[in-house]
Amino acid sequence: MSVNKLNVTPMMRQYLDIKDENPDCVIFFRMGDFYEMFFEDAVTVSRELEITLTGRDCGLSERAPMCGVPFHAADNYVARLVEKGFKVAICEQLEDPSTTKGLVKRGVVRIVTPGTILEGSTIQEGKNNYITSLVRTEDHYGLSLCDVTTGEWLVTEVSIDQGDHKLMDELAKFAPVECLLDHRVYTDTKLPTHLKDRFNALVEEIPDHVLDYDLCEKLLLNHFHILGLDGIGLSNHPACVLACSSLLNYLKETQKNELSHLGQITFYNVNEFMLLDSATRRNLELTETLREKKRKGSLLHVLDHTQTAMGARYLRKCVEQPLIHQEAINARLSATEELKESLFLRDDIKASLSAIYDMERLVGRIAYGTCNAKDLIALKESLRVLPELHGHLETTTSHALRAMYNSFDDLSDLFERIDVSIIDEPPISLREGGLIKGGYNQEIDELRDVKTHGTNWLRDVETKEKEQTGIKNLKIKYNKVFGYFLEVTQSYNHLVPDYFIRKQTLSNCERYITEELKTIEEKILGADEKLQALEYKLFTEIRDFIAEHMDRLLRMSRLVAELDMLTSLAIAAEVNGYVKPLIDESDTLNIVGGRHPVVEKIIGQHQFIANDVYLNETDHQINLITGPNMAGKSTFMRQTALIVLMAQMGSFVPAESAHIGVVDRIFTRVGASDDLASGQSTFMVEMMEVSNILHHATKKSLLILDEIGRGTSTIDGLSIAWAIIEHIANHNKLGAKTLFATHYHELTELEKTIPSLRNYCVQVKEMGETIIFLHKIVPGSVDHSYGIQVAHLAGLPKEVLDRAHAIMAEIEGESSRDLRAVVETSSKAVEEHKLQTEQNTVPASAHVEASQASLTAEPISLAQTVSPSGQVSLLEPAQATPPAQMSLLGGSDLHVEIIDALEDADLMNMTPFEAMQLLFELKNQLNGKGSKKKKSRR
């Protein structure tokens, strides 16, 4: 800030010094009953909050720009600035102005950032507010996350080998609002941009000196009062030590307190939970809808019957992080079952939970020292319910509920301390008295007695003095300058006794004071000030006493949250007619009468058409689903994924029955849009997502793939889809259970060559030009997509539909050969090649036959052709055989080169992209564009 400090007033110099120490913050500078901002901060705040910009004399030739907000309403203004991306430094008066001579000492007591804000609209009841620190070592990312409003502190590590995709998938679980990155991550990766774009997060770089390992270790040991890192489980995780310490350092620097509620770090393994990548979370609409980003219409909205904010946050975590261990899943399911089957138990627990406030965030405010007396009363009312909640659990039998009962702490000592000390309806302000109950402190009672009876004492003195002196018009009065005094008119001056002490002479009266009146005055005037100070002192003592039991409060908060979550799942199961799934470690996925949990809520359960699905790793590994758009394929596939996810989070599921072998990961590819910001097309986004799936799925994964290859030409798309299916079906490469929906009806022929693939289709009833979608998935396939009929339902003009029918008839009439013959021939060639590869004999004749099968003189071209309607046709007859192709058929040198290239190609170990690249180069050679040089490939 370019202001000459030598020329400004002492107060303004103080402000400028504090601003220099916090240059990236807006300074809220306490001036009496206001927080004031000056210079550039004033201009910024005035603009952003739409408050009046004025000026203040500061010693310069021009007044300093200034604006201000009342201190009692500052939280709202601070929250609004933080929401807009600003950091706000709260600068308080550190001395009492009434007892200080000269300039009052001031200092920053807290810096408010998106990840450390405690109040405001950014803090949603049912959602955590995470700040994260990310540090990279040679082999790992250390990731530490904290919600300072609840005291939750997590840490994990991600191997560098797993790539940035894994890291982003992990961050997507938590959607951090503020991110601290080390120098290498901040400058050498695209992560800062991704975090800003994806989560609208504030991203900052961690200073290098903060990441000295010895200093980091020392900071953690001091904070947790331990002798070694084994005490927090981080001795073998150096990246986690750096991440946790850098986060703790930042929080201590910005919050200016001991952070006593951050008393525990929870280390978790990223593989402890089902892997859900970012695309899958979006596609399945787990916590918000895909288009409108609203909670209503998501799975979370359907399952959420929680009564507390803590329970709502815990339920969200369970949706975001399904379990993968059979024992843990079945423990949750058993607890959910007991609560579902016992109506009275469930209702009693629900009623008790409804009276509990957000204990986690109340504890956070207590630890920060920002709570008021109303917060303590809210905590007391929550603690009041705990004994009865404990009683409800006494008769439970499931393992999870019994564990809660046995570890229950009713916190009765904390309840009693608040109950005897804080009045039931205290004011918001802590500095104006009215906080402490009568009988709690003798001095407070005496001061209140003085304050209450002071008027009576003054009346008694006035009456007594009138009688003793005979001055009938004598009155006791008060002003701020002289305090209390006796006023006597001039006509009665001769009756004034000697013990009256003159204070002031006026034209028509005299004012006096007596020793008795002086004593009463001191009691009355000092009582209010003393009372306010003493009540505040006692309040802070009570607050500190509660803070000493932070770990007990947080432990019980989390127990209540888990119980609320289980009760919510039980209510959802009862209300929606869900059933308990059978969970084991088998390779079976058998759902009978499955329904989509969200869609059925919208259209009604009785209107929803239920469907079965059966998958295993042998003869039903891939279900290939065909059928027209709008017929229900995507809903069917999504509901399968959601049922598996619900089961593994411990929820009952929308089905008649469900047998689910534990799935380690769910991947979905069900639609993409152009990524305009990075210049990536729909097809590129699709291929990147598919690539991620093929590289990271396992045999225990569930894949949901919808219309793979539709973003490019028909031949390319069909080829890619075909190759992907073969790759998934190969147990040596993947072998994952898969639902694969497609419009490429030619792919249904793969059922003949892939033993683990089964064809399914959506039933459609035709009625002349109209079709009726039955939304039923049955074995078999369809041979067309009913595109024109769907266009009819969409309301296209009749002349357009008639022309479409004519064009389709023309195309079908001209087609002299069904592409299925090519598919069958190519599939046969692939099988022969596999056999020959296993026998380590691959004669050139096999490749020649395969090539000639695709390039016969029959009138068909596998090159892309376009019909007059503009639609890509697979059945359009070739108009002429290209010269290069004729030379190939005639056995030219080019022919030999291509045969050699095919011989060198290791088809069984190629990725789909490598296979497509090979075909592209061979095609270019046929068209005279490619290099004549023989290429060697693995």
Binding positions are 627-634
Q: What is the rounded end-to-end Cα distance, in angstroms, of the chain?
A: 63
Task: Tell me, letter by letter, the H, E, C secondary structure of 3-70.
Answer: CCHHHCCHHHHHHHHHHHHCCCEEEEEEECCEEEEEHHHHHHHHHHHCCCCEEECCCCCCCEEEEEEE
Instruction: Give the count of beta carbons closer than 10 Å to the beta carbon of residue 438.
Output: 10
Dihedral of the CA atoms 23, 28, 30, 36 (nearest 10)? Answer: 110
Q: Can you read off the two tokens belonging to residue 771?
A: 């079709």
DSSP string, 713-755: -HHHHHHHHHHHHHHHH-TTT---EEEEEES-GGGGGGGGT-T
| Alpha-carbon gap, residue 124 to 172, rounded angstroms | 17
| Alpha-carbon gap, residue 442 to 463, rounded angstroms | 30
Strands of the sheet with 34-38, listed across from one edge: 54-56, 64-70, 34-38, 25-31, 87-93, 106-112
Q: What backbone phi and psi angles, to 5 degrees, belong to 581?
A: -80, 155
Binding positions for ATP are 627-634
DSSP string, 571-588: HHHHHHT-BPPEEESSS-
Enumerate the H helices of 730-818 as residue ranges. Answer: 787-794, 798-814
Q: Where are the beta strands (DSSP E) in 548-701?
A: 582-584, 589-594, 611-615, 622-626, 657-661, 665-669
| Alpha-carbon gap, residue 417 to 1, rounded angstroms | 50
Measured between alpha carbons, how far is residue 152 from residues 145, 266, 548 in Å?
Answer: 8, 8, 17
Kindly give the interhelix angle for 343-353 and 550-576, rounded to the nearest 10 degrees.
130
Q: Can you read off the two tokens belonging to residue 110?
A: 């807290």
Is the backbone of residue 234 left (phi > 0), alpha (psi -120 to 50) or beta?
alpha
The rounded Cα 129 to chain-centroid distance in angstroms is 8
| Alpha-carbon gap, residue 671 to 62, rounded angstroms | 60
Instruction: Give the count of beta carbons closer than 10 Å to the beta carbon of residue 408.
Output: 19
Closest CA to 155 of 216, 215, 239, 213: 239
Q: What backbone phi and psi angles, to 5 degrees, belong to 208?
A: -60, -40
| Alpha-carbon gap, residue 157 to 221, rounded angstroms | 20
| Alpha-carbon gap, residue 435 to 538, rounded angstroms | 9
Closest CA to 157 of 277, 274, 244, 252: 244
Q: Can you read off the two tokens belonging to residue 478?
A: 């008060």
Q: Tell the burial category of 17 from Cβ atoms under 10 Å away from its Cβ (0-12, 13-18, 19+).
A: exposed
Residue 662 β-bridge partners: none
Q: Can you read off the two tokens belonging to residue 383?
A: 């603690």
Enumerate the H helices of 114-159 as residue ranges. Answer: none
Q: Can you read off the two tokens belonging to residue 801?
A: 């539909």
| Alpha-carbon gap, residue 812 to 327, rounded angstroms | 57
> Position of tokens 């339902």?
793
Answer for the pair 737, 602: CB distance below 8 angstroms, yes or no: no
The H or E element containing residue 836 is: helix 819-838
